[in-house]
């Protein structure tokens, strides 16, 4: 559909809601996206705001939208300029901050500030952001909320020393995440393979860094799911397949 045809059909109102939504979400036409960014219905502006093909200039304009739902998607967009992300960091809306915490392009200093936010979900997303500094991840590893610690344990950028400490966490879901992490030291995986929680042992069995000797031991585990996974990955390795 050309821009001229789109404008004509839009004016006539012959484009269905679902079709217009799909265009706003998936179109790569800068002209069409620019037109939709001015739509009276904020829902379509939101769709444009989360489209990675939306021009930077349009995203900058949408970052000032009166609707928080539009601004939050601008904060999540990988195409949003650093300058705009910095301005959005001053936005008072909780949802905007959550999206900023998840955006891998969010500047480090903003992530550090967000890591001290009172909102558990905001700290949780900072903890899993690939751009979060190692010192900040170490700080979040001591967070009182176990879901925040779980995300730190899952982050491949988390220092090995921190992962080692988290492998002894009282919450099994934190240890489970350490066992999943490809950055976890083999020595730690070996220890976790003896964890009292079968879910943790199951996770160790699926980790591509787990030593063959440990997998062989897990293949005799009392829990069927653990045994089956250990056997599966032993077979995969025997065929030289990388996972």
Summarize pLDDT for 121-140 with one digit per residue, the tens: 999 999 999 999 999 999 99
Q: What is the pLDDT of residue 3?
A: 83
- Long-range CB contacts for residues 87-92, cutoff 8 Å, separation at least 24: 87/63, 88/63, 89/113, 89/114
Q: What is the pLDDT of residue 239?
A: 77
- The alpha carbon dihedral of 111, 112, 118, 124 has a sign of positive
Q: What is the pLDDT of residue 10?
A: 81
Integer Cα distance of 235 and 20 in angstroms: 49
- Tell me which DSSP letter residue 141 carries: T
With the CA atoms of 73, 31, 79 and 109 taken in that order, what torsion angle do they form, in degrees rounded to the nearest 10?
-70
Residue 154: φ, ψ to 5°: -90, -20
- Long-range CB contacts for residues 207-213, cutoff 8 Å, separation at least 24: 207/179, 207/180, 207/181, 207/182, 208/182, 208/233, 208/242, 208/243, 209/182, 209/184, 210/186, 211/186, 212/237
Judge if pTM exceeds 0.95. Answer: no
Q: What is the pLDDT of residue 243?
A: 65
CB atoms within 10 A of CB 197: 15
Task: Pick out the chain residues at pLDDT < 70.
Answer: 241-243
């Amino acid at each position: 559909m050309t821009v001229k045809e789109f404008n004509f059909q839009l004016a006539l109102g012959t484009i269905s809601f679902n079709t217009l939504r799909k265009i706003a979400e998936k179109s790569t036409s800068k002209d069409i996206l620019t037109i939709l960014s001015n739509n009276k219905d904020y829902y379509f502006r939101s769709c444009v705001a989360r489209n990675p093909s939306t021009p930077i200039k349009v995203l900058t304009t949408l970052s000032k939208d009166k609707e928080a739902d539009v601004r939050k998607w601008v904060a999540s967009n990988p195409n949003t300029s650093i300058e705009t992300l910095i301005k959005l960091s001053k936005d008072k809306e909780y949802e905007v901050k959550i999206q900023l915490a998840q955006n891998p392009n969010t500047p480090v200093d903003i992530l550090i500030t967000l890591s001290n936010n009172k909102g558990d979900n905001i700290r949780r997303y900072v903890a899993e952001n690939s751009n979060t500094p190692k010192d900040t991840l170490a700080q979040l590893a001591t967070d009182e909320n176990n879901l925040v610690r779980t995300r730190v344990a899952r982050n491949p950028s988390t220092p090995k020393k921190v992962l080692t400490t988290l492998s002894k966490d009282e919450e099994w879901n934190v240890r489970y995440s350490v066992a999943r992490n490809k950055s976890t030291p083999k020595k730690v995986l070996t220890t976790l393979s003896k964890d009292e929680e079968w879910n943790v042992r199951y996770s160790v069995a699926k980790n591509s860094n787990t030593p063959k000797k440990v997998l062989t031991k897990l293949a005799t585990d009392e829990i069927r799911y653990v045994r089956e996974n250990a056997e599966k990955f032993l077979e995969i390795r025997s065929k030289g397949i990388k996972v």
